[in-house]
Structure 1
Amino acid sequence: MDQHIAESIGRPDLIRLDDRLVCLRFETMKVVSALAAVRHLLDTGVVRRGDTLLDSSSGIYAYALALACHRYGMRCHIVGSTTVDHTLRTQLAVLGATLEQMEPCSDLKLDQKRRVVRIHEILAEHPEYHWMRQYHDDIHYLGYRAIADGIREATGADGLTVVGGVGSGASTGALARYLRAADDGPDDGLGAGPDSDAADRPGGRAADVALVGVQPYGSVTFGAEHVSDPEIIIAGIGSSIPFGNVSHELYDTLHWISFDAALAGSVDLLRRHAVFAGLSTGAGYLAARHEHERSPERTVLFLAADTGHRYVDTVYARHREAVPVEGLAPRDVTDRSQLALPWSRMHWNRARA
C-alpha cells in the first residue's frame, strides 16, 4: 500500500499500442525524479524537514516538487512559467506551495531566462533555501532506476529503442543509463548521473538499448536555436539555456518536431489508441512510429510524461486542424544547418556536446 498519493502518481503504466510499440504512460512523470531527489537530500543530510526547496518550472516539475515536499514535510517555493494554468495554480496553493509566476510573455525563451534570474535573486535574499536545480543536478536521475527495472522485466532490454523528450535529460538519459547497465548491482547513489560509467560495469555485456531524443525547434540543447517555430517552443522538452544534466553522448538519434506536427501526433494518439497525453507525448509518438517502421524487429517504447488536460484548449480543441500522421515524415539531415520545419531527424551517434 502506498504511503502517499505521490507514490501512486509516479508509478507509470506500460501500454502495448501495436506489435513492438509500447507507451510508458505517466500521470505526472517528474514526480518520480522529485520524490527520489528529495529523499536523497534528506538521507544525506543536505536538507532537513521543514526546509524550503526552490526551483523554476514550466508546470510539471512544480506539481511534482510540491507533492514531494508535501510527502516529506518540506516547504516549496516555485518560480513558474507564464504557461502555468489556473488548475495548477490552485493545486499548488492548496498544497501549501508558494508560486511566483512570470508576467505574460509570448517568448518562452525570455520567460525561461527571467525565471533563472529570479531564482538567483531569491537565493540572495534567502541563502537558507535549497535550489533543486532540476536542469543541472544529476540527483534527478535516481528515481528512474525502478522504472528501468520495470521496463526490463516487461519488455526485456535487448533490442529496445527508448524514445522521449530530452528536457533536462533526467528521464530519457537515466532510463538509457539503467537499461544499458550490464548488471543489476546495488544502487550506488548517483551512479546514473551524467558522468557515470554505469553502462560499462564489469560482469556482463551492456544491453542493446538505443536512445532517441525528441527536441523542439529553437532549443539550444542539441543546436537548433537557429530555427524557430512560429507556434511555440514545446515547454519541458527543449531549452533556451544550456542544461547541465543532459548527457549528449547517451543519444543515438535526434528528432526535431514542430508544434503542428506534435499536435497531429497528440490527436492521432488519442483517436487511434485512446491515450490522452500532453504535447511532448504527441511529438514522441510521431518519432516512435517512425523508428518502429524503420526497425520493426526492435521494441520501441516512448514516454508519455503527463496527461492532456492542460492542452485541451491549445491542442485538442484544434483537432480538426490535425493533418493525418501517415502524411508526415522527417527530413533526414546530416548537419544541423539543414534543420527545417516541420520535422527533422539526425543520427547523433552518441557524440559529446
Structure 2
Amino acid sequence: MSVSTRTYESITEAHLMPRLIRLGPNLYGAAFTLMKLLPATYILERAAERGELGPDTVVVETTSGTFGLALAMRTALLKRDLVLISDPAIDAHLYRRLTDLGAQVEICPEPAEIGGYQEARLRRLAAVRAELPDTFCPEQYSNPDNPRSYGVVARQLADALGTVDCVVGPVGSGGSMCGTVRGLREHTPHTLAIGVDSHRSVLFGQPDGHRALRGVGNSLWPANLDHSVFDEVHWCTAAEAFAHTRELHARHALFQGPTSGAGYLVARWWAEQHPDRTCVVLLPDEGYRYQATVYDDAWLADNGHLLTAAGRSAGPETVEAPDKAAERWTRFPWGRRAYDDVPGCVPRFLGTTTAEGTAS
C-alpha cells in the first residue's frame, strides 16, 4: 500500500480532482468529493487574472446546490463577500453550511410562470447586482470558463486510462460533460458522450415540470450546454437513480449523491453492452447531504421512490424522439446534433428565457 506525502495549500485544492476507481472490467468511476469546486475555483482565478475582482467586489450567484457550496468554500478562504440566490428546494443542512462559511443566502419564495424557480432566481440576482456598487457573477450556466475548467479532468483520464471510448455523466449546466468530452476528443474523436437527464427537464427536449431528482436536469437552457457534443441521452426516474446510488454504495463502498447513482445506472449498462471498450462515469459529489433522504428506506417508501425488484429495468427503452420518453429509463440516440435539428424536441419559443438570463 502506497501512502501519499503530498501536502495541499487548502482543502479546496485537496478536493479539486476526482479519484479514479475501477467499478468493473472496463468501467471506471471519476469520483469527486465536490465536482463544482473545479469550475468555481477556475472561474474565480480567471476573473482575478482579468482584473474583474477588486478588493471590495462581492461575488453573487444563483444556485440551490453544490456550486453554491463550492463558491462559499472558495470565498471563505479568499475572505470575500458572497451572496447566493436560492429557492425553497435548498436543504437545511446545506443552508447552514453556506451561512457558516459566511455566505448571505436569499430565498426566492415563488417560481416564475416561465422558467420556474431558476428564472425567479435570475431576476432576483439582477436586482441584487443593481443594488450593489461592485459585483462579480460567475454565471455557471453561461461562463465558458465552466466547461474549460474540466480540461484537466480530460488530461487526467487520458493519462491514467489511455483511450477512453465513452464518458457517461449527469447533465445540469452542461459544463462537466461538454468540457471533459471536448478535451478527450482532441486526441480520440471517437469518444462517445452519453448525457443523463431526468424526466420533465428541458435540456434534451422534454417539457418542463416537477423533478424529484435534484442536481440533474434544468428548467432553462444553459448556454454552456453544447448539444452537438452528445451521442446519446438517457432519462431515468428518481427511484432508479436513488436505487443505484445505494447500489454504488453497497457494491463499491462509494458514498455518493443521487446524480452519481443516475450516471452509474447508465454507465454500468453501457459497459456491459460493450465489454471491449473503456467507459468512465462522472460521479459528482458525496452522499452526506442525502442521508435523511436517498439513504433512508423509510423516506424512499413514504415518497414513492422505493424501487421494487419488479420495477427494476434490465436496460433502457429506446425511443424515436425525446417527446416519446416514457416515465421509466429510456434512451435516445442524439447523434451529436444541435437542439433544433432533433425532431420531437419542445420548441425553444421566442422570448423563452435561457439560463444565462437572455431571450433565446
Worse-superposed segment, 90-99 or 247-256: 90-99
Which whole-Å CA distance do the structure 2 matches of 1:72 and 1:249 have between them?
A: 37
Which whole-Å CA distance do the structure 2 matches of 1:349 and 1:127 have between them?
A: 46
Instruction: Please name the residue that 2:229 is paired with.
Output: 250
Instruction: Please name the residue that 2:323 is paired with.
Output: 337
User: 1:231-250 counterparts in 2 under 5 A?
Assistant: 232-250=211-229
Which whole-Å CA distance do the structure 1 matches of 2:121 and 2:314 have between them?
A: 35
Query: What letter corresponds to residue 58 of structure 1 in structure 2?
Result: S
Can you list the C-alpha shifts for 1:278-333, whole angstroms capped at 9, x where unaligned? Answer: 11111111110121122111111111111111122221112673334964421101
Instruction: Please name the residue that 1:217 is paired with.
Output: 199
- In 1, are the aligned partners of 2:8 and 2:14 still within 8 Å (CA)? yes
- In 1, are the aligned partners of 2:317 and 2:330 still within 8 Å (CA)? yes
When normalised by structure 2's length, the TM-score is 0.85
- In 1, are the aligned partners of 2:141 and 2:224 still within 8 Å (CA)? yes
Instruction: Please name the residue that 1:266 is paired with.
Output: 245
Which whole-Å CA distance do the structure 1 matches of 2:59 and 2:296 have between them?
A: 36
Superposition CA RMSD, Å: 2.1
Aligned residue for 1:316, secondary structure, equals coil
Aligned residue pairs, count: 325
Determine whether 1:316 maps to 2:316.
no
Aligned residue for 2:30, secondary structure, equals strand
Determine whether 1:110 maps to 2:116.
yes
Query: What letter corresponds to residue 316 of structure 2 in structure 1?
Result: P
Q: Which runs of 5+ in 2 are unaligned?
A: 1-6, 340-360
Which whole-Å CA distance do the structure 2 matches of 1:108 and 1:7 have between them?
A: 38
Which whole-Å CA distance do the structure 2 matches of 1:328 and 1:124 have between them?
A: 52
Q: Which runs of 5+ in 1 are unaligned?
A: 183-205
Q: 1:23 to 1:279 in 2, by over 3 A?
A: same
Determine whether 1:278 maps to 2:264.
no
The alpha-carbon deviation at position 66 of structure 1 amounts to 1.1
Aligned residue for 2:296, secondary structure, equals helix
Which whole-Å CA distance do the structure 2 matches of 1:111 and 1:328 have between them?
A: 35
Query: What letter corresponds to residue 333 of structure 1 in structure 2?
Result: V
When normalised by structure 1's length, the TM-score is 0.86
Aligned-pair identity (%): 30
- In 2, are the aligned partners of 1:52 and 1:129 still within 8 Å (CA)? yes
Which whole-Å CA distance do the structure 1 matches of 2:334 and 2:182 have between them?
A: 17
The alpha-carbon deviation at position 233 of structure 1 amounts to 4.2
The alpha-carbon deviation at position 127 of structure 1 amounts to 5.2
